[in-house]
């Protein structure tokens, strides 16, 4: 379930950093955390959306949901391509049934 209330107060989707942690746990002293890539977490399913990939290879990105869909102003979310339609459908269903978001 997509919760717009949690998302509308957030400035913008958080960028996470994937670290390559040492596989050998016994050598903690020498373990270095190496930055592998940055990613967003899909606000719908929680999957990683890697930002090191080229635009057309990425599994998703930033989506601005217009006020006409959210009824509470423009909300910026991170979504995978496969989730955009789901979110849109969910928001449209709410509009159809005239369900207001409880704030």
33/10 Cα distance (integer angstroms): 28
> Residue 103: which residues within 8 A CB-CB, separation 6 or more?
5, 72
CB 74, min distance to Zn ion, A: 20
42 part of the interface to Zn ion, by CB under 5 A: yes
Alpha helices, DSSP H, located in 1-103: 4-8, 67-70, 81-96
Which range, of 18-26, 35-43, 50-58, 63-71, touches Zn ion by CB under 5 A?
A: 35-43
84 part of the interface to Zn ion, by CB under 5 A: no
Q: Interface with Zn ion by CB under 5 A: which residues?
A: 42, 44-45, 47, 80, 83
């Amino acid at each position: 379930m997509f919760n717009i209330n949690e998302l509308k107060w957030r400035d913008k989707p958080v960028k996470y950093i994937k670290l390559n942690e040492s596989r050998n746990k016994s050598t903690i002293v020498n373990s270095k955390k190496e930055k592998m890539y940055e990613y967003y977490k899909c606000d719908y399913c929680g999957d990683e959306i890697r930002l090191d990939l080229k635009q057309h290879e990425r599994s998703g990105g930033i989506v601005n949901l217009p006020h006409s869909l959210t009824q509470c102003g423009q909300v910026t979310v991170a979504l995978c391509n496969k989730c955009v339609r789901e979110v849109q459908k969910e928001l449209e269903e709410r509009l159809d049934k005239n369900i207001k978001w409880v704030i």
